[in-house]
Amino acid sequence: MMTCIAIDDEPKALEVIERYCQKISLASLKATFREPLKAIEFLNREKVDLIFLDINMPDITGMQLLQTLSPRPLIIFTTAYSQYAVESYELNALDYLLKPVTFERFLMAINKAAAALSSRNTTGMDEDAAVFIKSGPQTHRVKVSEILYLEKDGNYITVHLKGGNILIRENMGDIFDLVPAADFIRVHKSYVVGIRHISMIEVHQLIVNGEKIPIGSTYRDSLRDRLGIM
């Protein structure tokens, strides 16, 4: 069972999360907080798997709070403002729930969190693990271990493999519905890379299979945290 907390300055929003958590067995809600700074104090003492995090709050925003956490739990943003969606995914948030949150949408996010946590807790990548990637009329079965990186270009994403490429029509914000978040990391607004294939990391770029991949300034801290780089 996942342990989680909810942080939101609106009492009704917290009541919704609490009520939804009571309906399912996947998540155990340990605490709720209306004051973000008290939540940070709690997180300094206790470890949780998942945080439901509002964005617009007093003293510190949800975006700012997220960047203070190391290591970071899984994050599901909850907000009434859709304009933050892109930025939330750039911070590697697992999901983005727009208020008022329906139970069906909440359940989808919880299922995604459970799958991500399961992958995160699995030691080593299963060499036979595969995903199905749709490209036009064709659907390809691709081993996860063969995916080097994904590159966005306009409305399309190129999946770079050891033995070739696949072009798909997909949003970068939804890419972790396609590849497991435990094995990949977003390093730029246009690039997601397979962690096991990173051979070198420099200040502004990294190397994957001999190719230079830029590191966006927004992603440097999360990359360092994820890989344990001091």
pLDDT digits over 65-123, tens only? 988 887 789 999 998 877 766 566 567 788 889 999 999 899 888 888 887 776 665 54
Delineate the domains of the chain, giving CATH numbers in brackets.
2-121 (3.40.50.2300), 130-227 (2.40.50.1020)
Q: What is the pLDDT of residue 85?
A: 63
Q: What is the pLDDT of residue 69?
A: 83
Report pTM.
Answer: 0.55
Q: What is the per-residue burial (b if ≥16 Cβ within 10 Å, else e) of 24-54? A: eeebebeebbbebeebbeebeeeebbbbbbb
Q: How far apart are CA 198 and CA 149, in angstroms?
A: 10
79: three-class secondary structure by DSSP: strand
